[in-house]
Amino acid sequence: MKLVTSESMRAIDNQCIQALGIPGLRLMENAGVGTVRFMEHELGALAEKNFTVVCGKGNNGGDGFVIARELTARGASVKVYLAGHAADVSGDARANLDRLGEGKVTELSDGKSIGELVEAMTKSDAVVDAVFGTGFEGVPRGLSGTVIGQMNVCGRPVLAVDVPSGLNATTGVAEGECVRAAWTCTMGLPKRGFYLYPGRDYVGRLHVVDIGVPAKAIEEVGVRDNVLTVREAAALMPDRPGDAHKGTFGKVVVVAGSVGYTGAAALASMSAARSGAGLVFLGTPTSLNDVMETKLTEVITRPLPETAARALSKDAFEPVLELIRDADALAIGPGVSQDPSAQALVQAVVEEVAIPCVVDADGVNALSPDRIAGRRGRGAMVLTPHPGEMSRLTGHPTAEVLERRDEIAREVAAKTSTTVVLKGAGSLIVEPGGELFLNPTGNSGLASGGSGDVLTGVIAALLGQGLSATDAAALGAYVHGLAGDIAAAEKGEIGMVAGDVMEALPEAFLRIVGAA
């Protein structure tokens, strides 16, 4: 599903109204009616229920006026408050204010009217926030800030119209008071800030209201950001024919591990096995092989030349090439360490690899954009850096990587002709042409050692089953985050570990397949 910023949503609205001739009043009506239908779904019959609708002076307030009218038509008791003066309301919003009828809206201007609002909200089954919309930036001041603060402490669930008031829909930043919604009914398309922190904490349950935006309007604007839905994830799932054998689902080779980092190798290889790979081979330092054979029942291990420090040696280059000669995908990097010989091995393998490959962790640390771009082997490649690794890869400070995540990820993807997965809350997947996918799944429990190794194994398995680099990365990130959500539901975000995420992968795949 396309994901929009404030600017791109404004451009889409303009395309609808000016280029395609769709009346703004129709879009506003669709927004209000669609929101009320969602309220019926969540709250049941609306007749005889009590609602407070708090409106601003712009088009978001216009949506609120439609909602108030529709709630009243369904037999609900509705009180409508305006954060400002009715004389300042204009355009389509004014038309819908007039349709409510004279005397139906209370202007909020003094302590007495704020007191009336507070009393009405405490007696409501739900409060509707229609103060600020997608175009809001900055800090809610004066009356608006007071109203938003009162909504947050009224003790009743709040439904935000389009955007929780006070939230920047593009960045997900709340610089001052911001509505903490139980639900957000957003119009037309989801907003980027809903999937970024702290925005995700304010949105509550998100519902996208179809207001009749034609696909042509979105295409004309050229939106290049996306958020993956569960049905879209299901559509990416590799086929599983009933007459399959091990070879049908790919041979995956994982080159990983060093002394002290056997867990990275185990998690990556077992996660590949848990993600549908037919055969998984692990190449690891010779002295660690016996440990890995004992630990990994379903993975075939291969001892590789090592250094005196028990890291992979550059002398493992030829054995690795032999190991991947008839493989379908390679994962390299988890736990290989920053031993100079291991780094040289990664550089040599990446230079030559002709099969799909995912490079993670110390594998990324061994590379530079120029080295990746100039490689002889032209197998599809996925890079999976966290912000610190992206900083080392590009030379940008980590703080800058965090501030310019999408821009830097696009730069690296374009320069290296790879798919980039920039990990973090709301991981970004960017293809070489610049199309971006934001992953909506996952939680803070994934911020623990080994979580990235699980992701590497998932992506490698999907590459081995024939998915393109971008599809494997996008589906892999979605599955990984969903497995984290499943693990968190059972263990809690505090106590879960990477192994719990790996064990939850089968359930995550089941849920995605079930959504098809």
End-to-end CA distance of the chain: 15
Strand, helix or coil at 197? coil
Per-residue pLDDT tens over the stretch 247-258? 999 999 999 999
In sequence order, the 6+-apart residues with CB closer than 8 A to the CB of 390 are 364, 396, 398, 401, 408, 409, 412, 422
> Per-residue pLDDT averaged across 356-376, rounded?
96
Quick check: bond before 198 cis, omega within 30?
yes
Locate CATH 3.40.50.10260 in the chain. 6-227
Confidence bin at 2 (pLDDT 50/70/90): very high
List the beta bridge partners of residue 206. 184
Among residues 399, 398, 429, 433, which one has the least CA distance to residue 415? 433
* CATH architecture of structural domain 6-227: 3-Layer(aba) Sandwich (3.40)
**pTM of the complete model:** 0.94
For residue 314, the one-letter residue type is K
Among residues 392, 405, 340, which one has the least CA distance to residue 364? 392
Tell me phi and psi for residue 52, to 5 degrees.
-115, 125
- Looking at 3.40.50.300, 1.20.1440.230, 3.40.1190.20, 3.40.50.720, the CATH number of the domain 242-514 comes to 3.40.1190.20
Locate CATH 3.40.1190.20 in the chain. 242-514
Per-residue pLDDT tens over the stretch 273-300? 999 999 999 999 999 999 999 999 999 9
Per-residue pLDDT tens over the stretch 135-180? 999 999 999 999 999 999 999 999 999 999 999 999 999 999 999 9
Among residues 515, 30, 14, 459, which one has the least CA distance to residue 250? 459
In sequence order, the 6+-apart residues with CB closer than 8 A to the CB of 513 are 234, 237
> Per-residue pLDDT averaged across 346-366, rounded?
97
